[in-house]
């Protein structure tokens, strides 16, 4: 299993794998799990073939708990998918990244313990935390971070080698309870064990401002774009960030569609061109 890393000077491209509702959730369609797993594997293979550095397997279950908890069936399903993806992408691709394909886990909204367990046991290399510090208001209620619980569990299952990318200002997390700059949130998240910060807004100028805040307040902490990136704005945004979670622009027909290898290659080519400067 490759180690989690975001190397200086390398623009890390992580493609999104959006899952249909899993077993143990209200909107899961009986009998659909095999298709969900197969599609996830096919998406990961397409990302690997297109030259991406990794993928993030993300639950899209429509309704979520705001607690750090996960239905057992949902956890098992995520583990099986993660393991299948890790196995399918283990072999290096000719001309692809040398450091190994990164497989990330995000069980939304904030099931960090289950995400850590799935990544550790299933062959993942990192997780994405919706709320590692502070709290954020979501359509499903208030999500309260519990960094002590995360740190204790991460240590208990020997998952310190599993990377932790923390949201600091994005579609999934915005600090609730007064203004706090993204840089301050990132600094706090790093103190709680984060290996990188994830941020991004629909407005590119605002995203660039957030990146600058993190650079000032948490120097050395890698910054990953939390979506809102595409082939049109990648040059400007990736020039300042260390990597990106990339979704809709790689999918045929928009969000949730099949990942197109050529679209992946085109985005990766942009990222690699920035490394030469």
Confidence band of 5 (pLDDT split at 50, 70, 90): confident
Q: Phi/psi of residue 141, each to 5°?
A: 120, -175
Say what the pLDDT of residue 94 is: 58
Query: Average pLDDT, stretch 204-223?
Result: 98
From the number of C-beta atoms within 10 Å of its C-beta (0-12, 13-18, 19+), residue 242 rates as buried
Q: Please write the tens of the pLDDT for every residue from 115-165.
A: 999 999 999 999 999 999 999 999 999 999 999 999 999 999 999 999 999
First to last CA, the chain: 31
pTM score above 0.85: yes
Query: Is pLDDT of 229 > 60?
Result: yes
Rounded CA gap, 186 and 219, in Å?
10
Q: Phi/psi of residue 100, each to 5°?
A: 95, 145
Inside any domain, residue 1: no
Say what the pLDDT of residue 93 is: 60
Say what the pLDDT of residue 253 is: 81
| Residues linked to residue 163 through DSSP beta bridges, in sequence order | 126
Q: Residue 254 belongs to a domain with what CATH number?
A: 3.20.20.70
R_g (Cα) of the chain, nearest Å: 17
Inside any domain, residue 261: yes
Inside any domain, residue 71: yes
Rounded CA gap, 56 and 58, in Å?
6
Minimal CA–CA distance to 140: which of 54, 69, 39, 44? 69
Asked whether the beta carbons of 168 and 217 are under 8 A apart, the reply is: no
Inside any domain, residue 118: yes
Query: Average pLDDT, stretch 246-267?
Result: 91
Say what the pLDDT of residue 95 is: 55
Inside any domain, residue 161: yes
% of the chain beyond a pLDDT of 90: 90
Instruction: Mark 96-115 as b/e (b = at least 16 C-beta within 10 Å).
Output: bbebbbbbbbbbbbbbbbbb
Inside any domain, residue 276: no
Average pLDDT over all residues of the chain: 94
Inside any domain, residue 3: no
Residue 127's domain spans which residues? 12-270
Query: Is pLDDT of 209 > 70?
Result: yes
Confidence band of 271 (pLDDT split at 50, 70, 90): very high
Two structure tokens written together for 64: 């979520």
Inside any domain, residue 224: yes
Asked whether the beta carbons of 217 and 209 are under 8 A apart, the reply is: no
Asked whether the beta carbons of 19 and 58 are under 8 A apart, the reply is: yes
Query: Average pLDDT, stretch 17-26?
Result: 96
User: Which residue in this structure is represented by tokens 């300042």?
Assistant: 240
Confidence band of 224 (pLDDT split at 50, 70, 90): very high
**Distance from chain centroid for Cα 101:** 14
Number of domains in the chain: 1
Say what the pLDDT of residue 80 is: 98
Query: Is pLDDT of 99 > 80?
Result: no
Say what the pLDDT of residue 3 is: 77
Query: Is pLDDT of 272 > 80?
Result: yes
């Amino acid at each position: 299993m490759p180690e989690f890393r975001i190397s200086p000077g390398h623009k890390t491209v992580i493609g999104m794998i959006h899952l249909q509702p899993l077993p143990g959730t209200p909107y899961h369609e009986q009998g659909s799990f095999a298709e969900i797993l197969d599609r996830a594997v096919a998406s990961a293979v397409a990302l690997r073939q297109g030259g991406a550095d990794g993928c993030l397997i993300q639950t899209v279950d429509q309704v979520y708990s705001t607690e750090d908890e996960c239905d057992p069936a949902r956890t098992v399903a995520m583990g099986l998918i993660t393991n299948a993806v890790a196995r399918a992408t283990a072999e290096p691709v000719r001309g692809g990244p040398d450091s190994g394909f990164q497989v990330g886990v995000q069980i939304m909204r904030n099931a960090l313990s289950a995400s850590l367990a799935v990544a550790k046991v299933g062959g993942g290399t990192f997780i994405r935390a919706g709320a590692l510090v502070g709290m954020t208001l979501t359509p499903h209620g208030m999500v309260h971070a519990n960094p002590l619980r995360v740190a204790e569990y991460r240590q208990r299952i020997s998952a310190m080698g599993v990377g932790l990318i923390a949201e600091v200002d994005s579609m999934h997390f915005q600090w609730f309870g007064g203004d706090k700059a993204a840089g301050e949130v990132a600094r706090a998240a790093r103190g709680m064990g984060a290996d990188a910060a994830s941020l991004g807004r629909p407005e590119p100028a605002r995203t660039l401002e957030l990146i600058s805040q993190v650079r000032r307040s948490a120097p050395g902490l890698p910054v990953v774009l939390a979506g809102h990136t595409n082939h049109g704005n990648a040059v400007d945004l990736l020039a300042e960030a260390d990597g990106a979670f990339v979704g809709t622009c790689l999918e045929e027909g928009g969000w949730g569609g099949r990942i197109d290898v050529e679209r992946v290659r085109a985005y990766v080519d942009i990222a690699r061109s920035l490394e030469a400067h």
